[in-house]
Structure 1
Amino acid sequence: MDLKSIQTVYFIGVGGIGMSAIARYFNGRGAKVLGYDKTSTELTRTLAAEGIDIHYEEDVSRIPKDVDLVVYTPAVPDTHAELQYFRQQGTPIKKRAEVLGIISRGMKAIAIAGTHGKTTTTTLTTYLLRECGISCTAFLGGIALDFETNFVEGQSEWVVVEADEYDRSFLHLSPNIAVVLSMDADHLDIYGDRASLHETGFRAFAKKLEPGGKLYLQHRWAVEMGNIPGLELFGVEGGSYRADHIRVEDGYFTFDYHSPAHRLEGLQLSLPGRHNVENAAAAITVALQLGGKGEDIRRALRSFRGIRRRFEFLHRSEGQAYIDDYAHHPEELRAAIGAAKELFPDREVTGIFQPHLFSRTRDFVDGFARALEQLDEIWLMDIYPAREAPVPGVDSAWLFDKINHPRKHLVHAEEVLQLVQERQPKVLLTLGAGDIDLLRNPLKDYFGGKA
């Protein structure tokens, strides 16, 4: 498909974080961009302000006659009225991942994959490259605070993309450089089991690497990945490209970086947590491969502001802190909670968690329970269903009973602000990938006004 000839693009699910980045790509090239989403959000309102026409009802009368391409997300059901209309009309229809693959094949692609850390590493890699003078394009899985967008237009031949394992989306990519951060079990509704995730997911993705390309793999997954041409290992205190001697100095996570060709000591990262040091090791490795200079990388690591909803400080004062994080898998919960406790070793950490998807809660209920037990106090919300119908017997009360903790509470969203006012938590985390983000502004306003 020749994307240059497309004049009108219609998005079904335009407000999704991956969908909206592609919508911005076409909008920036002068195409007419319009579409549907289920609900109005801060992101859809921003897209509308940028000139993208969005409506919120399944209404085929809102569809123009001259649509050249329809882009949809797998989260949209086959019964969707507009999707059915386009199929009847014979309009070219492609999944978001297919379109991203077509875009990236015209460039040199850096694809960041893994069950955790993709968005942070993709965004940090983009930021380091641009601070090193490499004007890359980027499709990000979150809103980068440094760019205030999830799509970054560049002038070089390089594009950085988040390579999503859901629905095997990343198999549409053929990267020149690939990073695999982790291969933990997830999306078992798609893959069935861990072995299939590894073989038909991540190994299949690794085999899509362009000839002569590099695959940087987190070193603990070497056995599962097996022998792949171009494979190199990175990590924290492991791999040929590694971060070590990790410590906290002057409020920054500080570490040394070593590779066969480079040694950078005393690097300081603006993001907290050992998991982010590992993400940074991958980003540094890519930046150095493309010719980035050590001092530019050193400066950029300190100034990087992060991503909305990735351990994002919304309030920080001498007595209290409020942090919002997208964590929706047990390993992500452990990382976020661990980072908070390492940053604030003398304060109690309270977490509000909203489970995301009935299937994920069912598949990882014990992992969620053990991760949440790291908290000093647990507030558990109802499961956010997203695209799923309820699963009998799977609800927050079931997860709640699995948690062995004396200070756990089942709460509803409308109770949270009053509970915060009554309990006055010293460190508060909101955790989850659903609509728990609607609590961000009320809590931020409360803490800010109180300060």
Structure 2
Amino acid sequence: MNLKNIHNIFFVGIGGIGMSAIARYFAANGKNVAGYDKTATPITEALQKVGVEIHFEDAVKNIPISFLDKEKTLVVYTPAIPKEHTELNYFFNAGFTVLKRAEILGRITENTFCLGVAGTHGKTTTSSILGHIMQPSLATSFLGGIAENYNSNLILGEDKISVVEADEFDRSFLHLSPNIACVTSMDADHLDIYGEAEELQNSFREFASKVSETLIVAKGIPLSGLTYSVDDDADYKAFNLKIETGKYVFDVKTPSSEIKNIEFNLPGKHNVMNALAALAMADVYGVSLENIKEQLKTFKGVQRRFSYRIKSDDLVLIDDYAHHPTEINAVENSVREMYPGEKVLAVFQPHLYSRTKDFVDDFAVALSKFDEVILLDIYPARELPIKGVTSQWLLEKITTKNKMVSTKVDLIKNIQKSSTKIITMLGAGDIGLLINDVVTSLKKAQKT
């Protein structure tokens, strides 16, 4: 298949964060792009504004007529789409060329110099930092989140170099051919796909074997490559960390040099690790350390990654995508670092029945570190319920005294009952949309 000969590209699940970046890329390159998604979101609205036709009812009749020509149409889908999806099955049965999102991303980047960012945590922030360092003048970057500097999950630029978030879900990253790559973490996750943690680690080992030039890994990860760490000895080492006027200032030692007083605005040592990984990749590629330092100073972050939605003297509301115990711990550590002595409320929506079942005790330990906890019902995404796996089951394991399960309808009322100054809203489901109403209500209450 030659992408140059394809006129129409139809996306099944076009509103997904990874899917929408590719759809935007093809639209910007003159292709006819259309797609289906379950619900309208800010992401689908943004695509529609650039001319992408999207519908929200799964029915073959809704597919634009021009996209029914299988000789001129490529179909791309996300594995999150259910197997019984009517339109997707139509395309399969009618003999269209149908590719997974990871396959088409591999095709787009296979002839580029590819910098791939992998890891069970940190890859979205790290790839966004790296994309910002490389800038549009150097690379096109496909991100798994909305970078604040660009208000987009796609940074369009030079087509000979790509920055790609290498996703381990469904072994997607094995479709990539990275020249330089990093692995930020290899914690157990996606056990609904892999079964055992060892299988996940094997998949990372296979990804590492595909790296043609340089692999960079967080120190302690059992893969062979250049290492990076905060404080501990490594090939790339961040040290002399200080917090000055709400930002980090630190020095970095590289294998051949040293650079001082790097300024970085994202909270939490885990984000210093992310910045260090991006620095290492850019340094290996050949970007000067002075240019890297300048770009780190101006990086604004990624939406739903410790994003301040309210920040005043008497109330702070932080929005974060955290959906794994390790990520929740990172948020809690960052909040305690930024607001020592303050009481903190965590509003958490578990994501997937299988993940909740696999890590329920770890979730309980992480959430018990907060002063108050509100749980929403589990967001099912692609899954059917598992008997006995509920938010109430998780709540019973949490040791925090002030805790409850709330419906979405009562969420704002229950948040307003809290006397905490710091509120975190965590999860990968539709809590990212619910927060808009929460912000509006809390700001209105502040004014009155």
Per the TM superposition, whether the score is higher than 0.5 is yes
CA contact (8 A) 2:416 2:442 kept: no
Secondary structure of the residue aligned to 2:115 is strand
Structure 1 residue 447: deviation in Å?
3.8
- Distance of 1:251 and 1:302 partners within structure 2: 13
CA contact (8 A) 1:134 1:156 kept: no
What amino acid maps onto 2:167 in structure 1?
Answer: D
Structure 2 residue 183 is the aligned partner of structure 1 residue 180: yes
Secondary structure of the residue aligned to 2:82 is coil
Structure 2 residue 101 is the aligned partner of structure 1 residue 96: yes
1:6 — aligned with what?
A: 6
- Distance of 2:440 and 2:293 partners within structure 1: 34
Structure 2 residue 328 is the aligned partner of structure 1 residue 333: yes
Secondary structure of the residue aligned to 2:228 is strand
1:34 — aligned with what?
A: 34
Structure 2 residue 140 is the aligned partner of structure 1 residue 145: no
Task: Please report the TM-score for the alignment, with normalisation by the length of structure 2.
Answer: 0.96
2:211 — aligned with what?
A: 209
CA distances 1:199-246 after superposition (whole Å, capped 9, x unpaired):
1x1000001112xx1000111113xx2xx4xx2111222321121222
- Distance of 1:79 and 1:442 partners within structure 2: 33
Structure 2 residue 373 is the aligned partner of structure 1 residue 370: no
Aligned CA-pair RMSD: 1.4
Secondary structure of the residue aligned to 2:417 is helix
CA distances 1:311-347 after superposition (whole Å, capped 9, x unpaired):
0011111121111000000000000111011100031
Q: CA, structure 1 residues 134+241, in 2 after alignment: closer, same or farther (shift >3 Å)?
A: farther
- Say which of 166, 169, 184 aligns to 1:166: 169
Structure 1 residue 424: deviation in Å?
4.2
- Distance of 2:54 and 2:420 partners within structure 1: 39
- Distance of 1:282 and 1:60 partners within structure 2: 45
1:189 — aligned with what?
A: 192
Structure 2 residue 401 is the aligned partner of structure 1 residue 406: yes
What amino acid maps onto 1:87 in structure 2?
Answer: F
Structure 1 residue 292: deviation in Å?
2.3
Structure 2 residue 421 is the aligned partner of structure 1 residue 426: yes
Secondary structure of the residue aligned to 2:34 is strand
Secondary structure of the residue aligned to 1:413 is coil
Structure 1 residue 134: deviation in Å?
4.7
- Distance of 2:159 and 2:30 partners within structure 1: 20
What amino acid maps onto 1:42 in structure 2?
Answer: P
- Say which of 83, 86, 93 aligns to 2:88: 83
Alignment of 1:295-310 (within 5 A): 295-310=290-305
Alignment of 1:61-140 (within 5 A): 61-63=61-63, 64=65, 65-67=68-70, 68-130=73-135, 134-140=137-143
- Distance of 2:110 and 2:159 partners within structure 1: 14
- Distance of 1:447 and 1:15 partners within structure 2: 28
CA contact (8 A) 2:147 2:303 kept: yes
- Distance of 1:141 and 1:300 partners within structure 2: 20
- Distance of 1:283 and 1:263 partners within structure 2: 16
- Distance of 1:351 and 1:421 partners within structure 2: 13
Number of residue pairs matched by the alignment: 440
CA contact (8 A) 1:121 1:279 kept: yes
CA contact (8 A) 1:310 1:326 kept: yes
1:46 — aligned with what?
A: 46
Structure 1 residue 425: deviation in Å?
2.6
- Distance of 1:33 and 1:281 partners within structure 2: 37
Structure 1 residue 299: deviation in Å?
2.7
Structure 1 residue 405: deviation in Å?
1.6
Structure 1 residue 444: deviation in Å?
2.2
- Distance of 1:416 and 1:341 partners within structure 2: 24
Structure 2 residue 259 is the aligned partner of structure 1 residue 264: yes
Secondary structure of the residue aligned to 2:138 is coil
- Distance of 2:14 and 2:29 partners within structure 1: 17
1:21 — aligned with what?
A: 21
1:56 — aligned with what?
A: 56
CA distances 1:109-150 after superposition (whole Å, capped 9, x unpaired):
0000000001000000111122xx852101000111111111
- Distance of 2:285 and 2:400 partners within structure 1: 48
Paired-residue identity, %? 45
Q: CA, structure 1 residues 180+66, in 2 after alignment: closer, same or farther (shift >3 Å)?
A: same
What amino acid maps onto 1:51 in structure 2?
Answer: G
Q: CA, structure 1 residues 124+294, in 2 after alignment: closer, same or farther (shift >3 Å)?
A: same
1:237 — aligned with what?
A: 231
What amino acid maps onto 1:237 in structure 2?
Answer: D
Task: Please report the TM-score for the alignment, with normalisation by the length of structure 1.
Answer: 0.95
CA distances 1:156-207 after superposition (whole Å, capped 9, x unpaired):
52100000000000000010000100000000111111111111x1000001
Structure 1 residue 28: deviation in Å?
0.7
